[in-house]
Amino acid sequence: MKTELIDPFNRKIEYIRVSVTDLCNYRCGYCMPEQGVHPEGNHKEYLSYDELARIIKAFVKLGVAKVRLTGGEPLVRKNLSHLVSEISTYEGLEDIALSTNAHHLEREAQALKTAGMTRCNISIDSLKPERFKNITRGGDLVKVLAGVDKALEVGMTPVKFNMVVMKGTNDDEIEAMVDYGLEKGVEVRFIETMPIGPAGVSMMNQHYPASKILARVKKHVGADLIPSAGKTHDGPARNFIIAGTNTRIGVISAVSEHFCETCNRVRLTARGVLALCLGQEDSVDLRTPLRDGITDEGLEQLIKDAMLKKPEKHFFNENVHNIEFRQMVQLGG
């Protein structure tokens, strides 16, 4: 019988998001403070690629079939393709995905694809260069769009665009992003701002609900949005097919309509903390027992025990700022 990870609410955990770094070359306001996460320069204590691979292998043995490599920005850590090449050999691992701002993707896409990367999600919050630079506090839209084209060229499919919609900042570009997605043949996913960490809490006055986003998309395309059921790779998104096309639009509505009842994922931070819920404190330290010499069997048991702590749902707590991984950039999104 195949091993499965089941939490106390009978949800099968088959997806892990793995942060390889909490550093990022961008400074998006909803994700991290302007000075960065470690302004004092403390960038030590990341899990090594060997340690990350060992934890991922344990999860795969326990039934996890999907791994997403995230950050921070994962491509600021050198030789990410080495990790991809290692984990791509694990029997039972069906999907290796990447979340990236695409700044370095033109350079890295071919090596990642060759190593076994399946697909990628690209964060892109504006198609206006100066606005994009302001949102990201210095980002280069030209490099990001070149990364998009390279990902499509090497066959990282599906490529998805993630746009965090912020009222008064970029909500006037919802329709333009739909058109760009149609032009490139990729799915566009619109994400609500979330009160995670001081950075996220400070942005909640710009929250723009998914219901309004969908209404505008429907009006713009002049067609019905048909719920897309039973599709793979959806994760937390609610997806819709534009009637008469094969194009999908997604919304991630963690605030206005949470998706906790179908949650199938956990997160591993770059410093080895297993975060069991995006909006809760529940977590388990894996780095310490790993470095203290835990056996493979012991690691698997630790992970199984951790699943018993996974909460039923999130309650975004705007007063919780002192947990190690509370910044969105440290949680891996």
Structure tokens at 118: 């399946």
pLDDT of 193: 86
> How many angstroms separate the CA atoms of 53 and 66, rounded?
14
pLDDT of 312: 81
Structure tokens at 62: 């326990």
Positions of the chain with pLDDT lower than 70, given as ranges:
1-2, 35-44, 195-203, 230-235, 254-259, 279-280, 314-333
249's CB contacts (< 8 A; 6+ apart) are 178, 181, 187, 188, 189, 190, 214, 217, 225, 239, 240, 242
Angstrom distances, CA of residue 22 to CA of 26, 115, 330: 11, 23, 5
Q: What's the one-letter identity of residue 98?
A: L
Q: Give 179-226 pLDDT, tens digit per residue.
A: 999 999 899 999 998 766 666 666 678 889 999 999 999 999 999 999
Structural domains in the chain (count): 1
pLDDT of 79: 97
What CATH code is carried by the domain that includes residue 191? 3.20.20.70
pLDDT of 30: 84
Q: How many residues does the chain have?
A: 333
pLDDT of 257: 62
Helix-strand-coil split of the chain, %, nearest 5? 35, 20, 45
Structure tokens at 48: 């090594």
> How many angstroms separate the CA atoms of 202 and 194, rounded?
10
Residue whose structure tokens are 């947990």? 323
> How many angstroms separate the CA atoms of 267 and 271, rounded?
11
Domain with 278 in it? 5-331
pLDDT of 262: 80
> How many angstroms separate the CA atoms of 208 and 224, rounded?
21
